[in-house]
Amino acid sequence: MLKWLALSLGVIAADQATKYIVMHELALHESVTVTSFFNLVFVYNRGAAFSFLAGASGWQREFFIGIAFAASAWVIYLLRKHAREALFSFSLSLILGGALGNVIDRLLYGAVVDFLDFHAYGYHWPAFNVADSAITCGAVLLVWDSIRPRKPAAAVARQ
């Protein structure tokens, strides 16, 4: 289980390091063009994914922190129970690291720091960060793990 927690810590470290750089190199709401379809920006998101509940009166901060801590406790339980299932545990570790990376922002700044801005034809995907990417990749891998074909238990026991 320790290797999975180490992976989560690596996600947290990468997330917090990139946010630190953005916060110290860009002014709030500043945008730097990197390519024709990608900008670096510095924005705060007080909501969840896609700024869900961002305009609420402030109660959402504690709500999202509570959800993240509850989900993290559940993920740690699952990691302990399924530590030998590599893809499942890898996926959960990404989700755990991403969730805690964003919780750190909410605790320190009252909102999540977002800075990756992809766009095309005048449409901008909502800005996101490394933690969001880890959560998304982890969720996709969990789906993949749940639908991929598995060897029957008898075949695995013979190996």
pLDDT digits (tens, 9 = 90+) for 45-72: 876 665 656 555 567 678 878 989 999 9
Instruction: Provide the annotated active-site residues.
Output: 114, 132
Copy the structure tokens of residue 97: 């690291």
* Alpha carbon distance 146, 159 (integer Å): 22
pTM beyond 0.85, yes or no = yes
Quick: pLDDT tens for 73-127.
Answer: 999 999 999 989 999 999 999 999 999 999 999 999 999 999 999 999 989 899 9
Q: Are strands 123-124 and 38-45 parallel, antiparallel or unpaired?
A: unpaired
CB 128 within 8 A of CB 116: yes
Domain boundaries along the sequence of the chain: 2-84+117-148
Say whether 73 sits in a helix, a strand or coil: helix
Q: What pLDDT was estimated at residue 80?
A: 94
